[in-house]
């Protein structure tokens, strides 16, 4: 995939995450530029005011793994997000990760505060069955050192909650990280609903395949069907 294609996909991810209210003035998706040490990440306007629903490829900027801006033609109104070190240090620690979403969704934040696990209860969100750890600090992850702490808390999992702050979800592609981020938040909210009426009953491991998806659901179906649907939806609105 070319860099321009990748920027376009990060822009679509931004629009999906905005529609789902996972990101707003803060929060950002990113993707590793294949074969490089560079990261394509949503740039912030300096005053944090922009219409994210109208995000385009030009709003996606390049940073290197040290967090330095690597965009030659970055306009004066754009800057790298302060929490870019969430992304850069996860890419450094996890060669299998090609995309990262950092968001601040209320359902996930509720679980981070309560210290109670998000459970595999919904058949479109079992890929976190190995657990979603919690990073026990609410500070902004705005230095490489803090980024490394967060990457250590993530470990080999696919997502990590930040106590009283938000969530970080990884994927093998920007499409996967986006779909998983949306579904993790939906699952958290579903669990809150369930806990209002009874005890959550988890989907057992016997009903999951070796990718932790529910039996009968391929990763391609899981990622592509949802991404294509949502991308079409946000495309109609722009």
Which sequence positions are flagged as catalytic? 83
Nearer to Zn ion, 97 or 150 (CB): 150
Least distance (Å) between residue 210 CB and Zn ion: 33
Question: For Zn ion, which stretch binds (CB under 5 A), given 91-99, 163-171, 181-189, 224-232?
Answer: 163-171
- We find the least distance from the C-beta atom of residue 104 to Zn ion, in angstroms, to be 6
Least distance in Å: CB of 29 to Zn ion? 13
Is residue 174 within 8 Å of 39, Cβ to Cβ?
Answer: no
- The nearer residue to Zn ion, 1 or 152, going by C-beta atoms, is 152
First to last CA, the chain: 24
CB 105 within 8 A of CB 188: yes
Residue 103 beta carbon to Zn ion: minimum distance, rounded to whole angstroms:
8
- The interface mask with Zn ion, positions 50-89, x = CB under 5 A, is ---------------------------------x------
Residues with Cβ within 8 Å of residue 40, at least 6 apart in sequence? 3, 6, 7, 10, 30, 31, 32, 33, 60, 61, 62
Residue numbers 18-57 binding Zn ion by CB under 5 A? none
Q: Which is nearer to Zn ion, 10 or 22 (CB)?
A: 22
3-class SS string, 13-69: HHHHHHHCCCCCCCCEEEEECCCCCEEEEECEECCCCCCHHHCCHHHEEEEECCCCE
Instruction: Please report, as ranges, the residues that interact with Zn ion according to CB under 5 A.
Output: 83, 166
């Amino acid at each position: 995939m070319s860099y321009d294609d990748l920027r376009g996909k990060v822009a679509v991810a931004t629009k999906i995450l905005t529609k789902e209210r996972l990101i707003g003035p803060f929060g950002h998706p990113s993707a590793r530029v294949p074969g490089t040490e560079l990261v394509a990440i949503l740039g912030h306007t300096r005053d944090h005011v922009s219409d994210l629903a109208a995000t385009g490829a030009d709003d996606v900027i390049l940073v290197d793994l040290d967090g330095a801006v690597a965009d030659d033609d970055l306009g004066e109104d754009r800057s790298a997000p302060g929490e870019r070190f969430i992304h850069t240090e996860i890419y450094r620690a996890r060669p299998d990760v090609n995309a990262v979403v950092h968001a601040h969704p209320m359902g996930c934040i509720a679980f981070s505060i309560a210290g109670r696990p998000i459970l595999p209860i919904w058949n479109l969100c079992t890929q976190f069955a190995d657990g979603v750890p919690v990073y026990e600090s609410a500070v902004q992850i705005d230095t490489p050192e803090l980024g490394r702490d967060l990457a250590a808390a993530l470990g080999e999992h696919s997502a990590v909650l930040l106590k009283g702050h938000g969530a970080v979800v990884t994927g093998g592609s920007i499409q996967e990280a986006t779909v998983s981020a949306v579904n993790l938040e939906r699952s958290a909210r579903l669990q809150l609903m369930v806990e209002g009426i009874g005890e959550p009953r988890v989907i057992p491991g016997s009903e999951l395949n070796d990718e932790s998806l529910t039996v009968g659901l391929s990763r391609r179906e899981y990622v592509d069907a949802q991404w294509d649907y949502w991308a079409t939806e946000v495309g109609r609105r722009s």
